[in-house]
Structure 1
Amino acid sequence: MSSQADINKLFWHSRRGMLELDVLLVPFLKEAYSDLPDEDKQRYERLLECEDTDMFQWFMQKSVPEDPDLARIVKIILDRVQPKYD
């Protein structure tokens, strides 16, 4: 997906109505999505097809997606918002 119409569609699918998800997904889409490799963009699009309750569990780190592709995009999003300490 690369056209403005496609990005707009992703934006609306990224708005979940659950604040905890919205504050992760919307900024990620606006600020990081365009820099992702195509494979990770596809993973993000698949992530948006998941249930909010599942995503909430993943982003609150109470569970991990069984699908390795979904686990990868969840980790990418979490790594972006969590400070890294050495």
Structure 2
Amino acid sequence: MNDAPASITDQRAGPSPADPGPARAESGADSATEREIKRLQWQCRRGMLELDLLLNHFLQHGYAELDGDARRAFERLLGMPDQILQDWLIGQAVPADAELSALIARIRAAIRTAP
């Protein structure tokens, strides 16, 4: 039985990469960006609900501002184990990689200024 409030479970729910949702008439670039976001949403699903929420929040509210290098760093970040990500995001540890460290700082700033 899931005792989580509906708002939390609704945030985790979403189309799988195999279910792109309703078709929309969009330009090729918009469609490619939308596919990229959907793929990343799927990768943001973690074994820890807290990480799901933090990473998806950043994806929705901060990812668009990243340049190409930072976007690749975000994908590398998603390849890290949950416990390491949690330690970085709560400030218990700092990534040795300067690019990941800067990205973690941006994610933490986006969380602090969450709408």
Pairwise TM-score range, normalised by the shorter structure:
0.7 to 0.9
Q: Which has the higher contact order (CA 8 A, sep 6+)?
A: 1
Q: Number of paired residues?
A: 82
Q: Is the 8 A contact 2:89 2:108 kept in 1?
A: yes
Question: Mind listing any 5+ residue stretches in structure 2 that lack a counterpart?
Answer: 1-29
TM-score normalized with structure 1 length: 0.85
Identity of aligned residues (%): 34
Task: Decide which structure has greater helix share.
Answer: 1
Provide the rounded CA distance (Å) in 1 between the counterparts of 2:42 and 2:103: 18
TM-score normalized with structure 2 length: 0.65
Larger Rg: 2
Task: Report the RMSD for the aligned CA atoms in angstroms.
Answer: 1.5
1:5 to 35, 47, 61: 35
Q: Which residue of 2 aligns with 1:33?
A: 63
Q: Which residue of 2 aligns with 1:67?
A: 97
What letter corresponds to residue 38 of structure 1 in structure 2?
Answer: G
1:54 to 84, 92, 95: 84
